[in-house]
Amino acid sequence: SFKKAATTDELSPGEMKLLELDGERILLANVNGEFHAVSEVCTHAEGPLSEGALESEEVECPFHGSRFNVITGEVATGPADEPLKVYKVQLRGKDVLIGPP
Q: What is the mean pLDDT of residues 79-96?
A: 98
Nearest to 90 by CA among 12, 2, 1, 8: 2
Q: What is the pLDDT of residue 19?
A: 97
CA 37 from centre of chain: 4
**pLDDT tens by residue, 22-36:** 899 999 999 999 999
Q: What is the pLDDT of residue 99?
A: 96
CB 27 within 8 A of CB 16: yes
**pLDDT tens by residue, 11-70:** 999 999 999 998 999 999 999 999 999 999 999 999 999 999 999 999 999 999 999 999
Q: What is the pTM of this model?
A: 0.96
